[in-house]
Structure 1
Amino acid sequence: MLFAIVISIVILQRLVELVVAKRNEQWMRSQGAFEAGAAHYPIMVAMHIAFFISLLAEVILLDRSLSSIWIILLVIFLTAQVARIWCLTSLGKFWNTKIIILPGADVVQKGPYKWVRHPNYVIVTTELLVLPLMFGAYLTAIIFTLLNVWMLSVRIPAEEKALKDATNYREKFSLD
């Protein structure tokens, strides 16, 4: 029962985020923004869809049980959700699931972005690990944590290059 509630809420949250991302993308493109890293985006989307399929399959088909430390994992997960909302609201219209860059824009340095350059990626990594562990889906936790590390090794450099080339990112973060 808890699994069905949590997974339903998370999937609904992701769908709402896609609507927000599309709206933000349209606004940014109307301001002259461009997309970077478009080649890896479909792979990232497929990875996230596969994560949910794997999580559902492992929990249901392999009859995984709730972790003995599920309360701790749930608190970590809920804390990550609060941090996720903080990231999204801090970036406002600049938040997106794609790498959409508005040339000449000042990079956001408020909220968690004061301290961490990519806090949302830390949160996603936490979610991809904690959510499956909460429900005993160890294979999903391992596989998708590793896939996410690989994805971020592609995505973060693409995002940083685009930000350095088109915004004040280099000067704000004192980069090379």
Structure 2
Amino acid sequence: METAAPWLLGFLIVQRLAELILARRNTARLLERGAREVAPGHYPLIVLLHSAWIATLLWFGHDQPVHPGWLAVFAALQGLRVWILATLGERWTTRIIVLDAPLVAAGPFRYLRHPNYTLVVAEIAVVPLALGLPLIALLFTLLNAAVLAIRIRAEDRALRGST
């Protein structure tokens, strides 16, 4: 699938931009309802990591053939993304926003504590692999693990109410 890389990367960019718009809208609504943001200090690291990942994919992967098997895994992951977004609805955001309401325990949250992070971990590895870039998959998987260690610790602390 030689000409598919621009389509895959274009989809990824449009998807991420749409998610940022949705997240910004949801964050504003949650804050209006009395929610509060917790531990915003690491958020620029997340933005930097994801921006660098996409830029690196564009630089090294724009003209690479797309491996159909990895593309199929990526497509399957999009089903998980839709399930997560549908389950969280207006509570989905890219920041740690705590609302005085019960935690969501439906959908993928019945099976995974942090399904969105599981999805992102998988995508950060799968997209470069789909483009034949295993070293980029490894590098950004390691960087993402470091950022997620900070993020998940902060989120768990916030959800326990001990921020």
Cα distance in 2 for residues equivalent to 1:28 and 1:145:
30
Equivalent residue, structure 2, for 1:162: 158
Equivalent residue, structure 2, for 1:99: 96
Equivalent residue, structure 1, for 2:126: 130
Which protein shows a greater Rg? 1
Unpaired runs of 5+ residues, structure 2, are none
Cα distance in 1 for residues equivalent to 2:25 and 2:82:
17
Equivalent residue, structure 1, for 2:21: 19
> Which amino acid in 2 is paired with 1:124?
V
Q: State the 4+ residue runs in structure 1 displaced beyond 2 angstroms.
A: none
Equivalent residue, structure 1, for 2:140: 144
Q: CA deviation at 1:145?
A: 0.4
Q: For the aligned residues, what is the CA RMSD? A: 1.3
Equivalent residue, structure 1, for 2:6: 4
Contact 1:90 1:110 in 2 (8 A): yes
Q: CA deviation at 1:139?
A: 2.5
Cα distance in 2 for residues equivalent to 1:134 and 1:37:
34
Q: CA deviation at 1:135?
A: 0.8
Equivalent residue, structure 2, for 1:75: 72
Equivalent residue, structure 1, for 2:85: 88
Q: TM-score, normalised to structure 1's length?
A: 0.87
Contact 1:58 1:140 in 2 (8 A): no
Q: CA deviation at 1:59?
A: 2.1
> Which amino acid in 2 is paired with 1:74?
L
- Aligned counterpart for 2:106 among listed residues 96, 99, 110: 110
Equivalent residue, structure 1, for 2:56: 54
SS at match of 1:40: helix
> Which amino acid in 2 is paired with 1:66?
P
Equivalent residue, structure 2, for 1:37: 39
Q: CA deviation at 1:138?
A: 2.1
Unpaired runs of 5+ residues, structure 1, are 167-176
